[in-house]
Structure 1
Amino acid sequence: MFVLSATVLLAINYLLVRAALPPAVAEGAETGHSGPTSIVRPIEADTVAEYRIDVLNTLLAQSSVTLSITLLLALLVGWIVASRMLRPVRAMAATARRLSADNLDQRIRMQGPRDELTDLADTFDKMLDRLSASFDSQRRFVANASHELRTPLAAQRTLVEVALGRDTSDPSVRDLCGRLLAMNVRIESMIEGLLVLARSDRGLDVQEPVRLDQVAASVIDAQRGPAARAGLRIHSELTPQLVDGERVLLERLVNNLVDNAIKYNHPGGQVWLRVGGGTALRVGNTGPTVPVTSTSELFEPFRQLRRGRDGSGHGVGLGLSIVASIASAHRGSVHADPRDGGGLDVVVRLPRSASASFLHPEDGRRTSSGTRAQP
């Protein structure tokens, strides 16, 4: 628009100057002895024509230089003004990129005179307030409902266990009690998983430096018994790794991964757990083949691709969804890939703690045999 208007202005100026220049023939007056006498003296047409051409060419050259300099200044000023005007829009875009279901506390809170952009920012903030209230209400409902269901289920399990402990000769009654007890345990596991999922979705209450390798070591010690009874062997390689977070949730994350690796395996299989290196945590296992297109579904709640190792299907489908939620609460991510020959390889990436540089150099690496080696 600037170039177009400047071009029109220069064209009008050019026409006006050309019209004001002397014509090719001029008249002159000269006074004689007997009085004034009009004398017409023709001026050379070539000289006038050259003069007009020189003036117009000079006008075009100077106008072009002026237009170029003014265009550069206009571009610079326009870029500065546009950047200042679009700064609120960039702030809103950056806030929208940072938002997620676990991070709805971000607001723009734009300062300045009331205009269309401040109205848009205020509308955006009010929309975030409504979304945050809706998510908080949903999480409170899940947590409260799960908590209220635990007490009657615990009482029901006690009654079933008492009935099983009595001497009865009716095998159908004992079979029914066994089924009720298994169903009760499954429901309790589901409720416990929902509580952990609601808690991790709500975010971290406290953050402190946690040794992820020590958390993994305690989980491995607790899982060696179930792994041995299933005929599995756990291999571990634990390098000191310090992350900021909540120890209870991180322990649940590692435990869910190891428990899944044991549950969805085959007799004589292997489980690998590694802490440190390029990623915070990596858990792999042998087992049935997992389709590549189904790996993303593993982290959705209540999704199970197949039953457990014993075919009982005692899982509730919340294990890996809890892992993904806890990783997200710690500003991390989780990804799963099928292994060649069957099984799964799950990688959890967590940001290192700012205190990681204070780890003592003597903190070595623990292997599956319990020996220590320098990292």
Structure 2
Amino acid sequence: MKIQSKITLLFLLLSGAILLLLNITIFYLVYKFGFDDFFKRLEARVNISAEVNVFPSSKSRAYQEVRNKYLEKLEAEKAYIFDIDTINRVHIPGHIDVKSDFIGRILRDGNARHKVENTFYAGKVFAKNDKKYIVIVSAADPSGFDELKILQRTLIYGFLVAMVLVYFVGKIFSFYTFQPIRRIISNVKSITANNLHFRLDELSGKDEVTELSYTFNDMLDRLETAFETQNNFVSNASHELRTPLTVISSEAELALNKLDVTPQQREIFKTIYAESEKLNQILSSLLSLAQSGFDGEKQRWESIRIDELVIIASESVKKIKPNSNIQIDFANMPADERLLYVKGNNNLLRLAITNIISNACKYSDNLMVKVSIKVENNKVIISVVDQGIGIPQTELQHIFEPFFRASNTHDYEGHGVGLPLTLNIIRLHKGTIGIRSEVGSGTEIKVFLPVEV
């Protein structure tokens, strides 16, 4: 999931949590205020009922008229008056449904409130002439419950609508927030080995995006310097290093051709000549390895038919190793010849395939090496299977590192640059390499190259 999507989701969750908490708070306050207001109305009626029934006087009639004229008649409103005996007991007729625990709270606290579903009760203790009475008024509040239900639906629908709005606002917010990041990504993608002099636009401000832009530009400065150093080395190393090696090799060869050279001197010159040739091979491999690290823009690209390339690579190996035993299997070739073409540099790809086949022949002591070609998922797959010494499992992850050689290859000549060079070439062609090996049984290397579109 992209960071932009994560921020949108986080923004949605945080906003949803805040809105949910706000809605719960609003509902609770309205619920509490509405019921508290209704209980106060009941308590006012309790006091009026007491004035009329417990403390009758000349004003009782006036209280009754005020109640009838100005006070709203509540739904299912009822008034109860109970006597309290000398031992603080209350006799409640059986047809009256008033909970005993509610009566107990009234006796204990002097007044109390009680609710059963949609029926509200308010009660209070009154004293007259050393005698105590409990006055209770009950009523239903359907309109209050209806208002709460309306409020509940409004809050739920409002919450859902708000979440939809928050989601789109979050997407817009994250889109504009990450717009400078997308611009940086686009600019960085356009920078290759051929235009390392390009730099990101310097942004104004002191935020993290500006700091990221400066950091990228600083990194590009270092990369450009490193690339120029590599280019200069690749351009000059061939001439500067090959010339003295050629002189050493030539002088050693001339010395070997002289008749007056003693046997001991001849052995010395043979060693000098052999080591100079070996050093020349190492230098050629290193230069190829360095050159294969470029982005391919300076190489000549063309359509290459893979089966023909494999045949040429096999013939090259046979010229170098006449005793090699290579079998090319065309059984799985696709019927459509167009699927055998890839886009790349012919010399580099031939070098990569030659390295793989040559290694297979070398480390299998010229036993059968099987090369096959097939096409799957729009990729050409070249498989090279040998019956050689294999590679220890613990060392497989290191075989593409320059100068690394497996622990069981001491009896074979090599410099540890062939497979790293091959990997660089295959990556340059947007391909991949897979390897499977077992010590004593052999190794299989598969090269995957994209079919030319």
| TM-score (normalizing by structure 2) | 0.64
1:216 aligns with one of 288, 307, 310: 310
CA separation of 1:259/1:253 partners in 2, compared to 1, >3 Å: closer, same or farther?
Answer: same
CA contact (8 A) 1:270 1:286 kept: yes
Partner residue of 1:4?
21
Q: Structure 1, residues 241-267: CA drift from partner, whole Å, max 9, x if none?
A: 211111111111112112212222225
- 2:256 paired residue number: 164
**Residue identity matched to 2:417:** L
Cα RMSD of the aligned pairs, angstroms, is: 3.9
Q: Which moved more, 1:321-330 or 1:115-124?
A: 115-124
Preserved CA contact (<8 Å) 1:242 1:353:
yes
Tell me the distance in 2 between the aligned counterparts of 1:115 and 1:17. 53
User: Which of residues 399, 420, 436 is equivalent to 1:321?
Assistant: 420
* Range with bigger deviation, 328-337 or 162-171: 162-171
Q: Post-superposition shift, 1:300?
A: 0.8
Q: Secondary structure at the match of 1:175?
A: helix
Give the direction of change, closer, same or farther, for the CA distance of 1:79–1:257 in structure 2 (3 Å limit): same
**Deviates most, 68-77 or 317-326:** 68-77
Q: 1:54 aligns with which of 138, 145, 157?
A: 145
Matched residues in 1 for 2:190 and 2:419: separation?
23
Quote how far apart the aligned CAs of 1:112 are. 9.8
- Gaps spanning 5+ residues in structure 2: where? 1-17, 49-61, 78-138
Alignment counterpart, residue 324 of structure 2, candidates 232, 237, 241? 232
Distance in 1 (CA, whole Å) between partners of 2:421 and 2:404 is: 12
More off after superposition, 110-119 vs 80-89: 110-119
1:40 aligns to what? 66
**Offset at 1:318?**
0.6
Report how far residue 322 of structure 1 moved. Answer: 0.3
Q: Equivalent pairs: percent with the same residue?
A: 17
Pairing 1:180–2:197 present: no
1:329-368, aligned counterparts within 5 Å? Answer: 329-339=428-438, 341-354=440-453
Distance 1:209 1:140, change over 3 A: same
Q: Tell me, yes or no, if structure 1 residue 126 matches structure 2 residue 227.
A: no
Contact 2:344 2:429 in 1 (8 A): yes
Which runs of no fewer than 5 residues in structure 1 stay unpaired? Answer: 28-36, 355-375
Once residues 275 and 54 of structure 1 are traced to their aligned partners in structure 2, the CA distance between those partners, rounded to angstroms, is: 79
Residues matched between the structures, number? 340
Question: Cα offset for 1:60?
Answer: 3.5
Letter in 1 for 2:141: E
- Corresponding residue for residue 369 of structure 2: 271
Structure 1 pair 286–195 and aligned structure 2 pair: CA distance change class (3 A): same
Alpha-carbon distance change, 108 to 209 in structure 1, aligned in 2, over 3 angstroms: farther
Aligned to 1:195: 287
Q: Tell me, what secondary structure is at the counterpart of 1:255?
A: helix
The DSSP-based 3-state class of the residue aligned with 1:334 is strand
Structure number with higher relative contact order (C-alpha < 8 Å, ≥ 6 residues apart): 1
* Deviation (angstroms), 1:306: 5.2
| Structure exhibiting the larger radius of gyration computed from Cα positions | 2
**Cα deviation, residue 191, structure 1:** 1.0
Name the SS of the counterpart of 1:202 in structure 2: coil
1:298 aligned partner: 399
Deviation of 1:234 after TM superposition, in Å, equals 0.9
**Structure 1 pair 271–90 and aligned structure 2 pair: CA distance change class (3 A):** farther
Counterpart of 1:146 in structure 2 is 237
Contact 1:92-1:108 at 8 Å conserved across structures: no
Q: Deviation at 1:349? A: 1.0
Q: Does the 8 A contact of 2:301 with 2:344 survive in 1? A: yes
Taking the aligned partners of 1:306 and 1:51, their CA distance within structure 2 comes to 89
